[in-house]
Structure 1
Amino acid sequence: MISLTSPVETRAHHWPAGLKLGLLSLVTFGLFFVDSVIFHGLFLAFVAVLYALPGTVFFKNGWKHLKILWPFVFIVVVWHLFTDELPLGLTVAFRMMSAVGMANLVTMTTRLSDMIDVVHWLTRPLRKLGFNPRVLELSIALVIRMTPVLVSKGQKLTLAWRARSTRRSGWRIILPFTVLALDDADHVAEALKARGGLTNQENQERK
């Protein structure tokens, strides 16, 4: 498993994780109250500038993680073009790219352990209701860390198909990709069991 944290250190790396996550939530929430395509276009340009400020290496690293959005952007724009609502489609696409782009900025400039500490602090009152915060913390950590791994394996499957066939892979790699994902899930589950699972961690924390 790998981390999404950028190897290029920026000023944002020294900001508190809670502050960055709070600002991300407020700004993302606010984007849904604005319907102007011009505003969202300018805001997306602003997000692009934020990626460019730390330098070329940071920009390329961030762009690599955002390329997965292009199929969704294409579908949204084409659909709204077909329904004669192109401005609305562009608004949705710009808003989606801005929101995901900012979230990616936070993960690139924040250690995973710091984000988990924020979640742990927020969910602490739920212990009185019998909720185990470790479940949520572990789920967030696994999603953040395993997503780029699965994307990388999907790309390798596509390249392997292209090396053996002139036809496009398309849906044909869905089954092997699913098998790979399930196999990774089994390995992670076994690793957690070998370390005592969530119950063992909870007992150690109580001691």
Structure 2
Amino acid sequence: MISLTSPVKTRAHGWPAGAKLLGLCVASVGLFSAPYLWVQMAAAATTLLLYSLPGQVFLRFGLRRLLPLWPFVVLVLVWHVATSAAYLGAVITLRMLTAVALANLVTMTTSLEAMMDVFRRILRPFSRMGLNFRAIELAAAMVIRFTPVLAEKGAALTLAWRARARRRAGWRVIVPFMVLALDDADHVADALRARGGFDTDKERH
């Protein structure tokens, strides 16, 4: 597993994780409530500026994390152009890219432990109601950790297909990708059981 945290240290690394997550929520609400293209363009330009301030290494590292979005960008744009709604398609595309880029910016400048601590404080009152927030913490941590791993394995499958065939991989790598994902999930489940699992698992046995 690898981390999404940037190796380049910035001033934002020292900011409280709760404040950054709250700012992300406010910015996301603002993006989704603004129907104007110029607002989305300004937000996208501002986000790109935030990426570029720490330097070229930070900028390249962050933009590489956004590459998995390109199929969704193409799909959204093609659909809206085909339905004569190019303006709306541009708004939705910029909104999606900016929102994901801002979320990526938060994860790049916030350690996983700091984010889990925020979730722990939020969920603590619900523990009295029987909520197993340890499982929720682990699930959130695994999503953050395994997303880049699965993205890299998908890219490796595509490259392997291109090395053996002239046609594009397309949907043909979906089945092997699912097998890889399920195999990773099985290994993680075995590792969790070997370490004791959760209280709910013990109660079932």
Tell me the TM-score normalized by structure 1. 0.94
CA distance in structure 2 between the partners assigned to 1:50 and 1:104 by the alignment: 12
Percent identity reads 55
1:2-21 pair list within 5 angstroms: 2-21=2-21
CA distance in structure 1 between the partners assigned to 2:59 and 2:156 by the alignment: 23
Aligned to 1:194: 194
How large is the RMSD of aligned CA atoms in angstroms?
1.0
Aligned-pair CA distance for 1:104: 0.0
CA distance in structure 2 between the partners assigned to 1:113 and 1:95 by the alignment: 28
Which consecutive unaligned segments of at least 5 residues does structure 1 have?
201-207
The AA in structure 1 aligned to 2:89 is G
1:50-199 pair list within 5 angstroms: 50-199=50-199
Aligned to 2:203: none
| Farther-moved stretch of structure 1 (2-11 vs 27-36) | 27-36
Q: Deviations over 1:63-113 (max 9, x none)?
A: 100011111111111111111111111111111011000000000000001
Aligned to 2:46: 46
CA distance in structure 1 between the partners assigned to 2:173 and 2:72 by the alignment: 19
Aligned-pair CA distance for 1:145: 0.4
Secondary structure of the 2:126 match is helix
Aligned-pair CA distance for 1:171: 1.3
Secondary structure of the 2:2 match is coil
CA distance in structure 2 between the partners assigned to 1:161 and 1:32 by the alignment: 38
CA distance in structure 1 between the partners assigned to 2:81 and 2:175 by the alignment: 32
The AA in structure 2 aligned to 1:197 is G
The AA in structure 1 aligned to 2:125 is P
CA distance in structure 1 between the partners assigned to 2:187 and 2:69 by the alignment: 28
CA distance in structure 1 between the partners assigned to 2:75 and 2:152 by the alignment: 22
Secondary structure of the 1:131 match is coil
Tell me the TM-score normalized by structure 2. 0.95
Secondary structure of the 1:50 match is helix
Aligned-pair CA distance for 1:199: 2.4
| Farther-moved stretch of structure 1 (167-176 vs 51-60) | 167-176
CA distance in structure 2 between the partners assigned to 1:135 and 1:29 by the alignment: 28
Aligned-pair CA distance for 1:129: 1.1
The AA in structure 2 aligned to 1:2 is I
Aligned-pair CA distance for 1:115: 0.3
CA distance in structure 2 between the partners assigned to 1:198 and 1:50 by the alignment: 40
Aligned structure 1 segments of 4 or more residues deviating by more than 4 angstroms:
none
Which consecutive unaligned segments of at least 5 residues does structure 2 have?
201-205
CA distance in structure 2 between the partners assigned to 1:166 and 1:32 by the alignment: 41
CA distance in structure 2 between the partners assigned to 1:30 and 1:83 by the alignment: 26
Secondary structure of the 1:32 match is helix
